[in-house]
């Protein structure tokens, strides 16, 4: 599959999607979002891919935001279409039936921070920088930042970041729980690949149900969420992979999961 603004590489059940507009610090324009939508639709159908990593091209940025040059003179109808597409891409990643890891290798600002927050796991390089600077442009975060950031780091910290437009470094992002771990720049992708490969060897159906249980359950009250978990738990027992996982344990061998 060929894209103008993305690179796609697949290796050992892991796909790496690289947003490739380094001259604009990988800012998201309409075409890039359309390509991301198409890319994830293809990856969803690709049985050889079990985990996806998203990163940015070059050494400076993950994604420096939505493309300000593209947005500057948008008519209201085009602005609406752009916002709708952005939300759709973020939701696609959030609900993607395979884990998505953000490898944040530089600026993750505005829509770039929102993209990272839509992923399941965030890893950062030491030079990563995070923020929601939309208020500097006279707008509010528009790809879900006002909703997902407080759910991730808590309302007080999210308020501070969103109201001030402050930019924070990777260490601070790790301290507040915005990213899980921080690596030297040259270690970021290898570490993300290692984690992705480890996840890819686990029961794929079980990993998929874990994601559903966590994402959907967190929007429910605890009693309903536990009932929901019990239903998903029961579902596992109709899979061949559950039989294989338990047999492999008892036979003291590695499991051979088939996603069945």
Separation of alpha carbons 113 and 104, rounded Å:
9
By CB under 6 A, the count of residues binding ligand DAK is 23
Tokens of 85: 């597409």
Q: Could you tell me the strand order of the sheet in which 107-109 lies?
A: 61-63, 107-109, 129-131, 167-169
Interface with ligand DAK, residue 245, by CB under 6 A: no
Judged by CB under 6 A, the chain residues 10 through 39 that form the site for ligand DAK are 24-25, 27
Cα(174)–Cα(130) distance, integer angstroms? 11
Nearer to ligand DAK, 51 or 71 (CB): 71
Minimum gap (Å) between residue 141 Cβ and ligand DAK: 7
Rounded Cα–Cα distance for residues 35 and 54 (Å)? 13
Instruction: Check 11, 31, 35, 134 and give the catalytic one.
Output: 134
Is residue 107 near ligand DAK by the rule CB under 6 A?
yes
- 59 counts as catalytic: no
Q: How far is the CB of 213 from ligand DAK (least distance, A)?
A: 29
Q: Other C-beta atoms within 10 Å of 31: how many?
A: 15
**Measured torsion, CA atoms of residues 192, 243, 252, 99, in degrees rounded to the nearest 10:** 0
61 versus 188: smaller Cβ distance to ligand DAK = 61
86 touching ligand DAK, by CB under 6 A: yes
Cβ–Cβ < 8 Å for 138, 114: no
Q: Is 149 in the site for ligand DAK (CB under 6 A)?
A: no
114 part of the active site: yes
Residues 116-145 that bind ligand DAK (CB under 6 A): 133-134, 137, 142-143
Question: Residues near 160 by Cβ (< 8 Å), separated by ≥ 6?
Answer: 166
Annotated catalytic residue within 35, 114, 191, 212: 114
- Report the interface residues with ligand DAK, using CB under 6 A: 24-25, 27, 64-69, 71, 79, 82-83, 86, 107, 109-111, 133-134, 137, 142-143
């Amino acid at each position: 599959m060929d894209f103008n603004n993305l690179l796609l590489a697949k290796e050992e059940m892991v796909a790496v999607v690289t947003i490739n507009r380094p001259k604009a610090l990988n800012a998201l324009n309409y075409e890039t979002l359309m390509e991301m939508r198409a890319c994830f639709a293809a990856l969803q159908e690709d049985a050889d891919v079990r985990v996806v990593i998203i990163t940015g091209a070059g050494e400076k940025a993950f994604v420096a935001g939505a493309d300000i040059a593209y947005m500057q003179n948008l008519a209201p109808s085009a602005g609406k279409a752009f916002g709708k597409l952005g939300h759709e891409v973020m939701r696609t990643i959030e609900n993607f039936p395979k884990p998505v890891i953000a490898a944040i290798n530089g600026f993750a600002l505005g829509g770039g921070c929102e993209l990272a927050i839509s992923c399941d796991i965030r890893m950062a390089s030491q030079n990563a920088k995070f923020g929601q600077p939309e208020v500097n442009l006279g707008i509010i975060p528009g790809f879900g930042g006002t909703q997902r950031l407080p759910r991730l780091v808590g309302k007080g910290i999210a308020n501070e970041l969103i109201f001030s437009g402050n930019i924070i470094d990777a260490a601070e992002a790790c301290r507040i729980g915005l990213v899980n771990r921080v690596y030297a720049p040259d270690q970021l992708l290898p570490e993300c690949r290692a984690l992705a490969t480890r996840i890819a060897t686990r029961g794929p159906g079980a990993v998929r149900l874990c994601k559903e249980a966590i994402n959907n359950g967190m929007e429910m009250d605890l009693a309903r969420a536990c009932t929901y978990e019990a239903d998903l738990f029961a579902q596992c027992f109709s899979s061949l992979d559950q039989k294989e996982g338990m047999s492999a344990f008892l036979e003291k061998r590695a499991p051979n999961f088939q996603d069945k």
